[in-house]
Structure 1
Amino acid sequence: MGCRTQRVLLRKLYGVSILFLAAACEPGTVLESSELRTQRAVFAAGEPLVSASSGRCLDVVQESHTPGTGLQIYGCHGRTNQAFTFTASGELRTYDNTLCVDTASGQTAQGTRAVIATCTGLPPQKWVFNENGTVVHTASGLCLDVEGAKTADGTPVILWTCNGQTNQKWSLPAPSDTQAPTPPSNLVTSNLTCNSVTLSWTGSTDNVGVAFYDIYHDGQWMKSVDGSTRSASLTVVPGATWGLYVNARDAAGNVSQASPTLALTPPQCQVDTTPPTAPTQLAGSVSGTSVTLSWNASTDNMGVTGYDVLRNGAKAGTATGTTFADSGLAASTPYTYAVVARDAQGNVSTASNALTLTTGAACANPICSVTQVATDTDIPWGLVPLTDGTVLYSRRDAQDIVRLNPATGVKTTLGTVPNVQSTDGEGGLLGLAVAPTFDTDRWLYIMHTSPTDNRIVRIQVTAGFTLDLASEQVLVQGLLRNKFHNGGRLRWGPDGKLYASTGDAQNGANAQNTSNLAGKVLRINPDGTIPSDNPFGNFVWSYGHRNPQGLAFDSNGQLWEQEFGNSVMDETNLIVKGGNYGWPNCEGTVSQGGSGCATPGYLAPKQTYSTAEGSCSGIAVVRNVLYVACQRGTRLYREIISGSSLTNVTPYFVGTYGRLRTVEPSVDGNLWLTTSNSGDKDSLPNNSNEKIFRVLLGN
């Protein structure tokens, strides 16, 4: 027995192989001091080891620090249980060099599981990383092997006879690449049918190379193709108007800004001019200031897609079934209702029988009345009530702040926020917040998109209600931006900290990486410093989010969060310190990749909604009731908070006011509610027709 000197590959750095000498010994050889002094491959602490057969990383199971915990392969995410260091003495260490890779019970037999252990310096903890990518166990001469050549998350890593297969080969990451590709351009469509289309584009450039193109419509992922491809066949919906765009992504995971948007409306598959039959036997009942209606279903040659409810001749809401609740009506007032049916091509039936009902003398309902206080030609996004009864709100695309006096309806502009840039999507001037100390410190906290990033700033408001631009302080910058998925909500916590929701910038990998701030809920000191008790040493409070936009605290100090799903399911989460909410492997309760929603450590949502009945943005809590404002679902959900659960989930205003963006508590214990019905995805200022409502709550 003895040792021989061999070459060991440290890494290829910009195409140059850097080699070190290492001592490779036959099984059982104990290195003498002279051999210990032989140079070994040593690379920077915190590097992942990537399996050549799967592209997954060497990983300590469930991020456990307990000695004896096994190693496995798992999707690379950059946390400390995937960070390994080869030391000069031949150890393979992890968790910031505090634990060593060992073999179970110090065994050296084929099939023995690789585990973590307290470092001892003994032979079972000695390894050599070879130029061919194998990691050889010095004491046994066996290779670090992915069991059975499997490629799935969670596959154990063991010792096995070296055989040269890819499941025994490991690589270090390529040199750091932080430069994103340029945006794709020149989108064109061809071969359009009622349910398919071919999309083509001009490719991006990148300092290393484009690995993938990701195709979206209106913030929803549709398909990904490899970087050598410049077109894709897509499935579309007849008659639906979509905005198509493409992002480029490189091998390091950097994602470009989006291409320009290309509008597309496929034709119907079959011409239909026959309207549905009229609904029949419209009936109803009254409870306080709410009315409940029911009717018999219509029929249609192609199929009924929904019903419009008419109140006094004007559309009051929509229904997909044969019931409808109309809430927030005036007391002691007669209302006449009728219902019409419609099909997928917009054919409308004649009206049902008319029905007149008179509301009660007093409100006996959870929602008593709705009053339109103001309109706006831009999209009201963030809104904060002040103690004097007025409200401040941001206009997303016009990029200014407005003060509204509800008593008079008078609006005055505080000024334009500097350095705001929209994204030809949903970026721009977003969330607002004021601390309980606003009346004395006058700080207005603002989240917005800039030309380079998303950021959180604060600006003082003068006594005359103008923005003191000289006072502006940038608190957090470098938040990744893109056309969609910018998050944007701000909420002051009972702990005196500012909480912010950030989107994943259309790159799901960001959501699982606690080293960056995208796809997270952040927690920030008022002056922009990092709270000392944050779980990851940065602003991150929770992670694994796609595009969270709603934040609200209940009376018990619990933080609730509302999040957009992709195309299946939206979710309401109860946020806990350091919690992982699963995106992109888990969308709501539906698995989308890896081990999906069953992944250990993922936190399940407290409530989910189909995207057709959701796409919810803002949330508010009043008297421990959660209110959720939804856009595509065109409704406001009311959900009772019971401990850590949500019960009695009830939709209101379904289709009555259209797309609802923001809901906020008023200072008198009621609600503010805003719409987002037009100009929502184009970033053009003052091309909207939005409304701001005051909602009076009952029991």
Structure 2
Amino acid sequence: MAVQATVAMGILGAAPAYAGESATLISADSQRCLDIARGSQEPRTPAIIFDCHGGANQQWEFTAAGELRTFDGARCLDIRGASTQPQAVVQSYPCHGGANQKWTLRPDRTIINPASGLCLTVKGGETANATGIDTWRCEATAHQQWIVGDTEPPPDDTEAPTPPSGLAISALTCRSATLKWEASTDNVGVAYYDIYRDGQALGTVNASTLTAQLALTAGASWGIYVNARDAAGNVSQASTSLQVQVPQCQADTQPPSVPTGLRGTVAGTTVTLNWTASTDNVAVTAYDIYRNSIAVGASGTLGYTDTGLSANTTYQYAVAARDAQGNVSPRSAAVSLTSGNACTDVICSTARVAQDTDIPWGLVALPNGTVLYSRRDAKDIIALNPATGAKKNLGVIPNVQGTDGEGGLLGLAIAPGFPASNPWLYIYHTSPTDNRIVRVRYVNGTLDMASLEVLLKGIGRNKYHNGGRLRFGPDGKLYATTGDAQNGAYAQDVNHLSGKVLRLNANGTPPPDNPFGNYVWSYGHRNPQGLAFDSLGRLWEQEFGDSQDETNLIVKGGNYGWPNCEGVISRSGTGCATTGYIAPKYTYRNTEASCSGIAVVRNSLYVACLLGKRLYRSEISGDRLVNVRQFFVGTYDRLRTVEPTIDGNLWMTNSDAAGDKDSIPNNTDTAIYKVTLKP
């Protein structure tokens, strides 16, 4: 079941005003203060901007309930008539807790009313004394930005806060819980705490708030952590994750009824199954599919397609139903089906060539058929002979450090001409201080660790959002994906290495034809992890989102919108309608995706997905992706990496949930598969 959680806090992203204290709100455009006209406490007195004087009618307190109070808490900032339309008058009014009195101060310094989705705005962009305040769509322009008291950071503040600590859950029920933590410290002052669940943003609270109310989904299992952020935008490393198992709301021990009517059709080496629905006292959530008594997949519908079977082979299938609490029905009556003598679908067969106890992350196929792959948490490189399954450990890469999340030893690449003219293995990894790209010579089947060179350092790191894929292009340049290090502002800063696709010369220098005079090739990315070139030399990229994943076609200097736009969802400012933002070529709900690696073989794009536990295949038609299909849904658990083989097929790696979200080596059960494609 997909895990859902929200931070049920009144204020998301408030600046560092301490609990019980108030501060002025200064318009960034005029430097005048948010003011209640004439200092009047009469209900419906309009809000204006006025020269700052520090009076009670210019002192504002963000409360935990989400109100913006003035006059020592006696009045609330209110939208007249509870209007949700633009240009509504903003006024003071006795506090009543209504939606028209709730305000959220966001990291871009806009103050939004969540009920209307509109921002607190100085009318007409004027700067004169006594200009009124109304609501307007959020554009993050200067007349919508507010400075809280004297919280402007020093211009040279680059020091991040310390990580939050001491996370604890209390009042845990099937629907809610209270999260608490201990404060971070900062050289200037902590402004915000950003709350995450397994890499997904839940919300932001102000620095005076060390608790959050979480809305939960019964039965969910997840890890929560907190980052601290200061007013200059510096983000701490994450706290240690707190693992929480949400209880069920009521006991349920009754399994669903047995599925009936199982039937199937055969087309070459592909079997398609259908069956009649089961019933349950609460609800059926999924069906597990068994092939020869072994679970090979799951389906949320009444059908399943099993691909890549051996030719001329008889298989027995059965199906069982399960509910949200893990009650499983007896299996259905079995049906026997015999595959054909030739492959008729795009995927012909799948064979496991190796198993591992760590996470295979980066993978390259050498010209002689050897496969090299990185083990993320074990921090070493393995040479695999696919013909025999024999493996050789080539050694631990120095200075690699995990993040108690998704950092570690990540992407690999070899250059055209390997090994004769360029014997280097290129590596992306997390260090104690950053993410970086290094290279080491591959000599006679070994790694010459003495030759290791750091090509690029200073890429932001955090528990999640580290990026990490490497790919040489047909131009001989090295391309790399970098995550935003859980700081969305980095993604829009073309002078920062994070939240980007980077482009390097093979020796690590920036090519002179890069668009911004540095390493940045494209920007506005959240956590990209897939790179692949098509037959026309165009670069495709796969990117994790909060709620939508993206497949993008990367162009030189392109801006892909994060954090203002995610997929086709506007998040801040003018969102996805912003001039110059490049829309994705395909989007996916992340419950069916959370995709990492991609590969292009014979003009088809293959996308390996973790949470979705499936492989997407689409055909590249011009600049579009068409005929999108899903394979191996639930068959091989979480899929992480796909790479072309030297004979025109696919290597595919998986990653099980047990060790996927930590940095503990050798605590997982994974494999490398060869997927044979139809010629």
Fold match (TM-score > 0.5): yes
Aligned to 1:506: 486
* SS of residue in 2 equivalent to 1:509: helix
Residue 315 of structure 1 and its aligned partner are, at CA, apart by 0.5
Change beyond 3 A, Cα 1:623–1:166: closer
The offset of 1:588, in angstroms, is 1.0
How do 1:85-100 and structure 2 match up within 5 A? none
TM superposition shift of 1:217: 1.1
Corresponding residue of 1:274: 254
Q: 1:221 to 1:207 in 2, by over 3 A?
A: same
Say whether 1:671 aligns with 2:650. yes
State whether structure 2 residue 662 is matched by structure 1 residue 682: yes
Q: Provide, for residues 364-419 of structure 1, a one-character-per-residue CA deviation record: whole Å limited to 9, x for no partner.
A: 11000001000011100000000001110000000010100001111001111111
Question: 2:28·2:142 contact (CA, 8 Å) conserved in 1?
Answer: no
Tell me the distance in 2 between the aligned counterparts of 1:170 and 1:207. 15
CA contact (8 A) 1:378 1:685 kept: yes
Residue 174 of structure 1: CA displacement? 3.5
How far off its partner does 1:422 sit? 0.5
CA shift in 2, pair 1:53/1:514, >3 Å: farther
Shift of 1:585: 1.5
| Equivalent residue, structure 2, for 1:442 | 423
| Aligned positions of 1:261-300 closer than 5 A | 261-300=241-280
Confirm or deny that 1:622 pairs with 2:601.
yes
Counterparts of 1:539 and 1:143 in 2: how far apart (Å)? 44
Unpaired stretches in structure 2, ≥5 consecutive residues: 1-26, 35-125
By how many angstroms is 1:615 displaced? 0.5
CA RMSD, 1 decimal:
2.4
Q: Distance in 2 between matches of 1:612 and 1:480?
A: 27
Match runs of 1:114-153 below 5 Å: 153=138
Query: Given the alignment of the two structures, is residue 694 of structure 1 paired with residue 674 of structure 2, yes or no?
Result: yes
In the alignment, the residues of structure 1 paired with residue 127 and residue 361 of structure 2 have an alpha-carbon distance, to the nearest angstrom, of: 60
1:604 to 583, 602, 608: 583
Please name the residue that 2:199 is paired with: 219
1:52/1:166 contact within 8 Å kept: no
What amino acid maps onto 1:627 in structure 2? Y
CA distance in 1, matches of 2:168, 2:127: 55
- The 5 A counterparts of 1:45-84 are 52=31
2:317 to 337, 340, 345: 337
Residue 403 of structure 2 corresponds to residue 453 of structure 1:
no
Asked if 1:362 corresponds to 2:342, the answer is yes
Alpha-carbon spacing, 1:538–1:275, altered in 2? closer, same or farther (3 Å): same
Amino acid at match of 1:633: G
The whole-number CA distance in structure 2 between the counterparts of 1:574 and 1:190 is 45
- Conservation of the 8 A alpha-carbon contact between 1:144 and 1:157: no
Return the match for 1:588 from 550, 567, 578. 567
Equivalent position amino acid for 1:671 in 2: L
Against the structure 1 CA distance between its residues 156 and 309, is the aligned structure 2 distance closer, same or farther, given a 3 Å change threshold?
Answer: closer
Of residues 452, 477, 482, the one that matches 2:462 is: 482
**Secondary structure at the counterpart of residue 439 of structure 1:** coil
Amino acid at match of 1:606: K
Give the direction of change, closer, same or farther, for the CA distance of 1:660–1:142 in structure 2 (3 Å limit). closer
Q: Check conservation: 1:189, 1:200, Cα contact below 8 A.
A: yes
The one of 194, 204, 210 equivalent to 1:230 is 210
Shift in alpha-carbon separation, 1:667–1:156, aligned structure 2, 3 A: closer
Figure out how many residues of one structure are paired with residues of the other and give that number: 558
CA distance in 1, matches of 2:315, 2:29: 68
For residues 308 and 506 of structure 1, what CA distance do their matches in structure 2 show?
36
Q: C-alpha separation between the residues in 1 aligned to 2:174 and 2:31?
A: 43
Which string of whole-angstrom CA distances, capped at 9 and with x for unpartnered residues, describes residues 56-77 of structure 1? xxxxxxxxxxxxxxxxxxxxxx
Shift of 1:338: 0.9
1:175 offset after TM fit, Å? 2.4
Displacement of 1:274: 1.1
Q: Do the aligned residues in 1 keep the contact of 2:477 with 2:504 (CA within 8 Å)? A: yes
Q: Per the alignment, do residues 333 and 146 of structure 1 end up closer, same or farther by CA in structure 2, a change over 3 Å counting?
A: farther
Q: Displacement, 1:662?
A: 0.4
Aligned CA distance change for structure 1 residues 207 and 50 (closer, same or farther; 3 Å): farther
2:254 and 2:327 in contact (8 A); partners too:
yes
Aligned pair 1:392/2:372, yes or no?
yes
3-state SS of 1:438 partner: coil
2:297 is aligned, of 310, 317, 325, to: 317
Structure number with greater Rg is 1
| 2:401 equivalent to 1:416 | no
Q: Pick which of 294-303 and 179-188 moved more.
A: 294-303
1:520-564 Cα deviation digits (max 9, x unpaired): 110111111111111111111111111100000000011100011
Question: What does residue 532 of structure 2 align with?
Answer: 552
Q: Select the residue among 649, 657, 660 that pairs with 2:636.
A: 657
Paired residue secondary structure (1:282): strand
Distance in 2 (CA, whole Å) between partners of 1:408 and 1:655 is: 27
Amino acid at match of 2:235: V
Q: Which residue of 2 aligns with 1:639?
A: 618
